[in-house]
A and B are shown apart, each in its own frame.
Chain A
Amino acid sequence: MDLASILLGGCAAGMVLFIVSVGLSVTMGLMGFINLAHGGFAMLGGYAIVLAMKHWGLDFVAALGLAFVSVAALSVVLERLLYARLYGAAELTQVLFTIGLAFVMTASVTITVGPETQVVHLPAWLRGQTDLGFLQYRTYSLALIVAGAALVLGLWLGFERTRFGARIRAAVDNRRMVASLGVDVSRLFTVTFAVGSGLAAVGGGLGAEILGLDPNYPLRYLVYFLIVVAVGGLGRVTGVFFAALLIGVLDFVLKIYFPKGGAIFIYALTLIILLWRPHGLFGKKGA
C-alpha cells in the first residue's frame, strides 16, 4: 500500500471515531458525567439501520436519518428519566449506572436480534472504487471522509458561530456562572445529549463496515472512544476531531505493519500524551 491509500483509510476510520465520540466529549465536558454507555447508542444506531433496511426496505441514507432520530429520542427519554437523577452523584455511581445500562443494551440486542455479527448492505453508488486521478480508492471510504468533513464543519459552525454553541462552550467552562446568568443548563444538556447520541447512532451505522456490529460493541470500543475524548480534551469539538484523526490513522497504519500487537502503541501514546497534558492535547487547563 502506498502512503496516500494508507492516509485515506486512516482518515476514514478517524471520521467514524469522530462521529461517535464527539457527543461523548461534549456531554462529559458539560456535566462531568462519565457516560460509559455511549458506545451503546452507537450500537443501537447500527442495529436500527440494519433492521430498517432489512424489514422495511428503507434505503441507506433514509435509514441513517431514522437511526439518528430514533436513538436521539430514546436518549432523551433515558436522560430525563435516569441520567438526570445522577448529575452531581459520585463518579463511581455514574460508572456503575452506565456500565449497567451498557449491559442492558447488549443483552436486549442479543435477545431480540441475536448474537451474530450484522452486515450493513451499502447501496450500489457507495460500492466499488472511485478514480481520484492519481489513484483508485474505495468509494465508501472517500464518502466517509467527505461526510465527516462536512459534519465537522457544520458542528464547528454551530459551536463557534451560534448563540446555542456559545452557551454550550460557556457552560463547559463554568456551568454555575452560566446557570446564574439565566441559561437553563439542564435543557442545554438534554439537547446536547440527544444530538450527541444521535450522532453516535449515525457513526455506529457508518462505521459498521470498519468496526463491525455485534452485541459486544459497546464495551469493546469503549476504550477507543474514551481515548479519543481524553486525548482531544473534554468539550472540544475540534480537539476531538484531531484526536480521532490521529488515533484513526495510527491504528490503521499499525494494523498494516504490526498486525499482532499494533494497539500497544496507541495505549502507550495515550499514556504519554495524558502525562504530558493531563487535560488532553486541546483541553484547557482547569476545565
Chain B
Amino acid sequence: MKAVEAFARRHRLQWWEALPWLAGIAVFFAFPNHLGFATKVVITILFALSLDLVLGYAGIVTLGHAAFFGAGAYTVGILAQHFNWAEPVSGLAAAALVAGAVGLASGFVVLRTHGLTLLMLTLCTMTLLEQAANMGAEWTGGFDGMPGLAFEKILGLFAFDVLYSRSQYLYSLAWLLGAFALVRTLVYSSFGQSLTGIRENVRRMHAVGAPVRARLILVYAISAALAGLAGGLWAQTTGYVNLAVLGLERAAGILIILILGGYGRLYGAMIGAIAYMVLEDQLAKAYPTTWQLGIGITLVIVALYVPNGILGLAETLRRRIAGKRARG
C-alpha cells in the first residue's frame, strides 16, 4: 500500500520545491555583476525543460529541438525589426505560437517514425530551417543575423537593462516559473501518464485504445511552443538573433545538458543547465584554448558511469543509504 500511496501523492508540492526559486532570487542579490550569464542559464533551463517533456516523458529522441528555439527567436527578431512590434510580452506569445505551429506541422509529418529515422528527420527539419534562415537574408539578415534589436519596456514599466541585465533576469525567471508550473501540471496529469505509457510500452498503449499518435503530436507541439518561448526570450534579452540559435551545436548542447542533469525528472533540466554552463564558463575562462577537452572527457565519464545524470546518481545514493539504514 505504501507504494500506491506514494504514487497518489507524488504530484503534491514538497517543501523543497520552493528552494530553486528562492535560490533564483538569491542569485539576483548575490551576483549583481553576473546576471547576464544567469539570464542565459535561466533561458537554457526553460529550453531544456521543453526538451524534457518530449524526450524524458514521451520518449521522442530528437536531435533537432533547436528548430523551435530558432523559430521563436527569429519570430521575435523579425517582428521587432520589420514590423515595429517591440512589445516584449506579446512578442513572446507570438514566438510561442509560431514555434508551436512549426512543431505541430513537423510533428504531424515526422512522428510516424522512430529510432535513427526519427533522429535524422528531426535533424533534417532543423537544418532545413537553418538553411532557410540563411537564404532569406532580406528578412533574417542571413549569415550576419539581426544585431541591435530594441524592445519596449516590459509591461510598460521595466526597461531592458543593457549593462547589468537585472530586468532581463527577473523577466526570464518569471517566464520560467510559469512554464515550469505548466510542465509540472502536465506531466502529473492523465495526459502525462499516457505519455509515460507510450514511452514504456507503445504496443500496450495501442492495445488499450490510447490515441498514441495524437498524444505524441500534441506534446511535441506544446514542447515546441515552450522552446519557442525560450528562443524568443533569448532574442529579447541579448538583443540579437543569428544562425547559432538554429544549429546542430545548440541542439546537441541542450541534449547534453538534459542528459547530464537527468531526463524525465523535471529538475534535471535545472541541475543540468547550471552544472554544464558553469563548468563550460569556468573552463573557458581558465583554459581558453583547451576547454573543449574537459567538456568532452566529462561527457564520456557521465555516459559511462552516470547514465541517468546527476539526479539519477543522487537517487541511487539516497536509496543505498536508506537501504543500509533499513538493514543495519
Residues of A within 8 A of B (CB): 28, 34, 82, 85-86, 89-97, 99-108, 110-111, 219, 222-223, 226-227, 229-230, 234, 260-261, 263-264, 267-268, 270-271, 274-275, 278-279
List residues of chain B with CB within 8 A of the CB of A99: 252, 256, 299
Partner of B128, one of A100, A101, A110, A264: A264
List residues of chain A with CB within 8 A of the CB of B61: 91-92
Are the C-beta atoms of A270 and B304 separated by less than 8 Å? no
* Residue of chain B at shortest CB distance from A92: B259
Partner of A85, one of B110, B134, B304: B304
List residues of chain B with CB within 8 A of the CB of A106: 292, 296
Are the C-beta atoms of B124 and A227 separated by less than 8 Å? yes
Are the C-beta atoms of B121 and A274 separated by less than 8 Å? yes
Partner of B117, one of A105, A261, A279: A279
Are the C-beta atoms of A264 and B255 separated by less than 8 Å? no
- Which residue, of A93, A94, A110, A268, has the highest number of chain B Cβ atoms within 10 A? A93
Residues 117-137 of chain B: 1 if any A CB is under 8 Å from the residue's CB, otherwise 0? 101110111011001101100
List residues of chain A with CB within 8 A of the CB of B109: 275
Say if the beta carbon of B289 comes within 8 Å of chain A. yes
List residues of chain A with CB within 8 A of the CB of B127: 223, 263, 267
Known interface pairs A96-B256, A104-B296, A270-B120; 9 further A-B residue pairs with C-beta atoms within 8 A, sorted by A's residue number: A34-B116, A100-B302, A103-B292, A104-B297, A107-B291, A107-B296, A261-B134, A271-B121, A274-B120
Per the 8 Å Cβ criterion, residues 129-172 of B in contact with A are 131-132, 134-135
Say if the beta carbon of B220 comes within 8 Å of chain A. no
Are the C-beta atoms of B290 and A110 separated by less than 8 Å? yes
Q: A97-B304, A261-B134, A264-B131 are in contact. Are A223 and B298 (CB under 8 A)?
A: no
Q: A96-B303, A97-B299, A100-B298 are in contact. Are A264 and B135 (CB under 8 A)?
A: yes
On chain B, the number of residues with a Cβ less than 8 Å from chain A's Cβ atoms is 45
List residues of chain B with CB within 8 A of the CB of A234: 116
Are the C-beta atoms of A111 and B290 separated by less than 8 Å? yes
Are the C-beta atoms of B249 and A104 separated by less than 8 Å? no
Bound CA span A105–B296, Å: 8
Shortest C-beta distance, B244 to chain A (Å), equals: 14
Q: Is the interface of B mostly helix, strand, loop or mixed?
A: helix
Per the 8 Å Cβ criterion, residues 273-313 of B in contact with A are 289-293, 295-300, 302-304, 307
List residues of chain A with CB within 8 A of the CB of B124: 227, 267-268, 270-271, 274
Are the C-beta atoms of A103 and B123 separated by less than 8 Å? no
Q: A92-B255, A95-B255 are in contact. Are A278 and B113 (CB under 8 A)?
A: yes
Are the C-beta atoms of A219 and B255 separated by less than 8 Å? no
Bound CA span A158–B304, Å: 34
Say if the beta carbon of B69 comes within 8 Å of chain A. no
Say if the beta carbon of B35 comes within 8 Å of chain A. no
Partner of A275, one of B115, B121, B298: B121
Shortest C-beta distance, B314 to chain A (Å), equals: 18
List residues of chain B with CB within 8 A of the CB of A226: 119-120, 123
Say if the beta carbon of B263 comes within 8 Å of chain A. yes
Residues 83-127 of chain B: 1 if any A CB is under 8 Å from the residue's CB, otherwise 0? 000000000000000000000000001101101110111011101
Are the C-beta atoms of A274 and B113 separated by less than 8 Å? yes
Are the C-beta atoms of B113 and A107 separated by less than 8 Å? no
Bound CA span A14–B295, Å: 33
Shortest C-beta distance, A32 to chain B (Å), equals: 8
Are the C-beta atoms of A82 and B131 separated by less than 8 Å? no
Say if the beta carbon of B55 comes within 8 Å of chain A. yes
Bound CA span A94–B125, Å: 22
Residues of B within 8 A of A (CB): 55, 61, 63, 109-110, 112-113, 115-117, 119-121, 123-125, 127-128, 131-132, 134-135, 248-249, 252, 255-256, 259-260, 263, 289-293, 295-300, 302-304, 307
Show 30 residue pairs from A and B whose CB-CB distance is below 8 angstroms, ordered by the A residue. Answer: A86-B303, A86-B304, A89-B303, A89-B307, A90-B307, A92-B55, A92-B61, A94-B303, A96-B256, A97-B300, A100-B298, A100-B303, A101-B296, A103-B295, A104-B300, A105-B296, A106-B296, A111-B293, A219-B249, A226-B119, A226-B123, A230-B117, A260-B134, A264-B135, A267-B124, A270-B120, A271-B128, A274-B121, A278-B112, A279-B117
Q: A230-B116, A271-B121, A278-B113 are in contact. Are A92 and B299 (CB under 8 A)?
A: no
* Residue of chain B at shortest CB distance from A29: B116
- Which residue, of A222, A260, A270, A271, has the highest number of chain B Cβ atoms within 10 A? A271
* Residue of chain A at shortest CB distance from B134: A261
List residues of chain A with CB within 8 A of the CB of B128: 264, 267-268, 271
List residues of chain B with CB within 8 A of the CB of A229: 116
Bound CA span A278–B128, Å: 18
List residues of chain A with CB within 8 A of the CB of B131: 261, 263-264, 267
Shortest C-beta distance, B312 to chain A (Å), equals: 11
Shortest C-beta distance, A216 to chain B (Å), equals: 10
Bound CA span A28–B61, Å: 17
List residues of chain A with CB within 8 A of the CB of B125: 271
Shortest C-beta distance, B120 to chain A (Å), equals: 4
Are the C-beta atoms of A102 and B289 separated by less than 8 Å? no
Q: A92-B61, A96-B259, A226-B120 are in contact. Are A264 and B290 (CB under 8 A)?
A: no
